[in-house]
Chains A and B, each alone.
Chain A
Amino acid sequence: MKLHQILLSCLLCVPSAVLAQGLDPATILHPPANMWPTYNGDYSGRRFSPLNQINADNVRDLKLAWLYHANTGPGGSPFGTEIKATPLELDGVLYFTVPDHAWAIDARTGREIWHYKWNSQGGIHTGNRGVAIYHNWIFFETPDNHLISLEKDTGKLRWAVKIADLALEYFSSPAPLVIGNHVIVGVGGDSLDVPGYLESRDPETGAVQWHWDTEPKPGEPGSETWPNAHAMEHGGGMTWLTGTYDPELNLLYWGTGNPNPVHAGQGRKGADLWTCSIVALNPDTGKLVWWFQASPHDTHDWDNVETPVLFDGEIDGKPRKLLAQAARNGYFFVLDRTNGKSVVTAPFIDLNWSKGVNAQGEPIPNPVKEPKTDGALVIPAAGGGTNWPPPSFDPESGLFYVSATPSYSVYYLTDTSAHPEGYGGRDSGVWSESALKAVDYKTGKIRWSHVYPGDGESLSGLLTTAGKLLFGGDPSANFIAFDPPTGKILWHTGLTEPVSNGPMTYELDGRQYLVVGAGDMLYAFTLPH
């Protein structure tokens, strides 16, 4: 809270909340239970809520509190409306998005407060992860690469600034992340061979505070992992999912996407840093502090953007500051988040693409499984062993939960030239199933696995709570509560479509609400009075 706001509160002798002061970024460091102030609920990415009013003993009594239909209007959503955003909750209001649209709805009743529509100039409309809040301002990104800032209380446009070039086939989908007076924005798009980057924008003006490229410049460290400057300048590595932050270390953690051309690696021989990596940056300067590459020289479209989840744990009896990620390439990684050194590397699904793991804990790709003109049969498919839907770490069970899709695909190389472009190949999914896996972070071993019996590929975001519950969805459109240590099902309800976002929870008027998105619907559950 700024000094003048404190003074104003005192002057008027009313609680600051009544003034709807908005969200002071300092609050995000220790979010109170009545708040879900960032995409992941806090900076850690654990998606573990300390709320326990809804718990293993009473979860069977959960009732629908309200539902909200996200109606984008005629032509408002060219490819159907699917809520992939995790709503933010602040002062009794939920804020969420689909591409080009943002809403504020009453967190008690599900009634709409405002709806903002951006007139799009194009871009791939595959999804939007949601908003960020800084004081009284809302921020979200658009498929045509604008960072939009709205008045939180009215949905009125403050400004829109361009963060990437639509003509170069960028499109933007992550929820921005507010750290102090920085609005961190990532970008996406690998149809053409353009470089990825991460930027910090000024919340007041939208101006660039810093810009970090996912590829080095010639001569810089990392450039030795590329054959030449041209490959490096067109190397992809998009930053399309919201990262995490450790305030004590003052490190911002972000996953980077696949290199370009996507399937044709012959023009970019080498590890292709810092694509398919987890990077740690200084959030004030954008300076790279360390990196870990999950898929050196990826040719399978396995963006490594999945949430880097931060927690403190114990390894060999010693307390450690850890970062864990269930990666799209099918590996589960645990790193020391102070320095990026590998602690655990273990597959969480069956794999057939690596020859093992090197001394740094990085998988060694098997060239036999790179895309071939006549096809290479690879596990997993390009969608990966998992994908963007948020995982969860439960400090009480000590388990990391991930929605997984064991899958097979044939990868074809279609561009054999020395200068391949775009994807340069194709992947054709053959088979897949959907499962929920609980991973022991100390060993990477699967503690339990629940394979959903229904057909269909579906990945649900996950949530754990101090109520000793794990929430997720199946491909058959059920929303399910599991017992975190065992995977036993405790409760379920049928939705209209499979869960399409990360479930979230908050407390309001002494009641705990549980909110989940499925297709164009938001559902809120709570306990009866």
Chain B
Amino acid sequence: MNYSNLSRALGTFALGTCLAAFAGQQQQPQTPPPQPPPGAANGPHPGPAAEKKAGPGARTGEAGQQAAPGAAQMQEEMQKFLAIGPPPDPAAVKRGQALFVSTCGFCHGSDATGGNTGPDLVRSVLVLHDQGTGKEIGPVIHNGRPGKGMPSFNLSDAQVKDIAAFLLSRTQAAANRGGYKILNIVTGDPKEGEAYFSAHCASCHSATGDLAHIASKYDPVALQERFLYPRTARWPGMPGPPPNPRAEKTVTVTLSSGQTYNGRLERIDDFSVALTEPSGEYHSWLFDAEKGMEVQVHDPLKEHLDLLKQYTNADMHNILAYLETLK
């Protein structure tokens, strides 16, 4: 994985996008790695957009589904980006949770976010300073807080450490937004969705053709994001499925001599355009060196963008509910 591109993605708005694209891979492992088009190395990079607030990260596969290949690695990178320390020993967390629920849960809530009498421990400064060691919380557990009505508990050091591990797992889970599980999103009306599909999508897509069994290829979140606007990997190291040739922009360049070139759009900005012909030949032109040239970009995803501007939440949910019937 290209570290600097990943970091760029992680540091920017594109984080959510590319991790979503990554996580939204097909459920069957896809062996071919993203094949960037030539020239893409100089192509669009996410810039310095949304710092600090990089969007959320990779989601793990839904229950019972296969996580995207490399998703664990992305998770790890996300954890690194968020500067979250190493996770506590899962066995200790499990022991600590059981102990916490039975011993502390009555006052602090079984998930440690506070109960009727005890404060939220996930947000507790003392717990955050404990960092899973038991050194900070130990004295409080052993001595209690008589002034605040907390009794003392005769727990062994090992038991304190287990509780500390459980609390650390809770704060890490809160801090690691890349690990948040998206809940059920298949809530719409499939009949309404089918009607919308017939009216707006059927000119390009077919439930028995290109979309046959689509719901068994993608998890619902990935499917929702892909029908809204199919994102693909677009530069070396960018996580995500390789571009679907059907979704690629093409361009027609007509020079003032009348000579015409057609091909896949590799790059365009205010000053130049580059394409690769079906033969594999690459061409580029500077606009100010080729006076009078005409450039026509064809974007097969334009309809997706037009619809994106029209969808209500209900449209989105209904379409997904319909697509989910295409198992």
Residues of A with Cβ closer than 8 Å to B? 78-80, 82, 84, 122-127, 143, 165, 167-169, 171, 173, 188, 190-194, 230, 234, 238, 240, 258, 301, 303, 350, 368, 372-377, 381-384, 387-389, 405, 407-410, 412-417, 419, 421-423, 425-432, 434, 452-460, 473-478, 480, 489, 492, 497-501
Contact = CB atoms under 8 A, between A and B. Distances in A.
Interface of B: 3-4, 7-8, 10-14, 16-17, 20, 42-56, 59, 80-85, 109, 111, 113-114, 120, 122-123, 125, 128-129, 131, 171, 174-177, 180-188, 221, 224-225, 228-229, 231, 234, 267-271, 297, 305, 308-309, 311-313, 316-317
Given A167-B131, A169-B175, A475 B51 contact: no
A414 B182 contact: yes
B74 to A, nearest CB: 14
Contact of B13 (A188, A387, A416): A387
B80 A414 contact: no
A193 B123 contact: yes
Contacts, number: 277
Given A171-B83, A387-B49, A428 B16 contact: yes
A426 B13 contact: no
Contact of B177 (A127, A408, A426, A489): A426
A230 B124 CA distance: 11
Contact of A192 (B123, B188, B311): B123
A419 B174 contact: no
Nearest to A83: B48
B313 A492 contact: no
Given A79-B81, A168-B128, A455 B50 contact: no
A303 B175 contact: no
Contact of A457 (B12, B43, B84, B180): B12
Contacts of A372: 313
A415 to B, nearest CB: 7
A489 B180 contact: no
A422 B84 CA distance: 13
Contacts of A169: 83, 175
Nearest to A230: B120
Nearest to A498: B47
Contacts of B51: 84, 126-127, 173, 387-388
A476 B131 CA distance: 43
A423 B14 contact: no
A377 B313 contact: yes
B48 A127 contact: yes
Chain A at the B interface: mostly helix, strand, loop or mixed?
loop
B48 A410 contact: no
Contacts of A434: 47
Given A429-B14, A475-B47, 16 more contacts: A124-B81, A165-B128, A167-B125, A188-B52, A373-B182, A373-B184, A381-B13, A412-B185, A421-B174, A426-B177, A428-B55, A432-B17, A454-B268, A455-B234, A475-B44, A500-B48
Nearest to B130: A167
A475 B11 contact: no
28 contacts: A82-B11, A124-B52, A125-B81, A125-B83, A127-B11, A167-B125, A167-B129, A191-B175, A191-B176, A192-B123, A194-B123, A303-B52, A388-B48, A410-B316, A414-B181, A415-B180, A422-B177, A423-B56, A423-B180, A426-B55, A426-B59, A427-B56, A428-B221, A431-B308, A456-B45, A456-B46, A458-B46, A480-B270
A126 B267 contact: no
Contact of A422 (B80, B85, B174, B305): B174
Contact of B47 (A123, A165, A500): A500
A165 B125 contact: yes
B83 A431 contact: no
Contact of B268 (A80, A190, A230, A453): A453
Contacts of A240: 52
Contacts of A423: 56, 177, 180
Residue picked from B17, B51, B182, most chain A C-beta under 10 Å: B51
Contacts of A373: 182-185, 187
B7 A80 contact: yes
Contacts of B175: 169, 191-192, 422
B45 A497 contact: yes
B180 A143 contact: no
